[in-house]
Amino acid sequence: MRNELNRLIGDRNEELALTFLEAEGFSIVARNYYARKLGEIDIIAMRDGVLHFIEVKSSQADFDPVYNFTASKQRKMINSAYYYMQTHNVDMEFSIDLVLVRWGEVEFLENVTM
């Protein structure tokens, strides 16, 4: 029951993230892209000639969801982004981004890797 509730909340927050991104001028390229053995990318979007690989993290608790974006998750996203670009024959500027949804409020953090 708890996992189902968490999934529903996650799906709703991902929809909030999509609405936010589209309002900010992003074109959605793909959702829930799965790179075998590497992981999943929640949203792939394009804006101003840059391909954005976006992770959505949310929380309905006092715990800040930014802490769920671990170094391991970051590595998996980078590897998945390279895999996507290779398999789709894409050679362009890209960014690894994070969308945080806290109690219905959306925050966009661009280029979270260094």
Residue 31's CATH number: 3.40.1350.10
**pLDDT given for residue 61 in this prediction:** 65
Instruction: Work out the average pLDDT over 64-80.
Output: 82
DSSP 65: G
Please, are residues 58 and 13 in contact by the beta-carbon 8 Å criterion? Answer: yes
Asked whether residue 45 is assigned to any structural domain, the reply reads: yes
Domain hosting 43: range is 2-109
**CA dist., res. 81 & res. 50, Å (int):** 13
Asked whether residue 51 is assigned to any structural domain, the reply reads: yes
Asked whether residue 114 is assigned to any structural domain, the reply reads: no
In whole angstroms, how far apart are CA 104 and each of 24, 60, 81, 107? 17, 9, 27, 10
Asked whether residue 91 is assigned to any structural domain, the reply reads: yes
Instruction: Work out the average pLDDT over 21-32.
Output: 95
Model-level pTM greater than 0.85?
A: yes
**pLDDT given for residue 37 in this prediction:** 79
Instruction: Work out the average pLDDT over 56-70.
Output: 74
Asked whether residue 88 is assigned to any structural domain, the reply reads: yes
Asked whether residue 56 is assigned to any structural domain, the reply reads: yes
Looking at the 3D structure of the chain, how many domains does it have?
1
Asked whether residue 16 is assigned to any structural domain, the reply reads: yes
**pLDDT given for residue 36 in this prediction:** 80
CB within 8 Å of 70: residues ≥ 6 apart: none
Asked whether residue 60 is assigned to any structural domain, the reply reads: yes
Any idea how long the chain is? Answer: 114
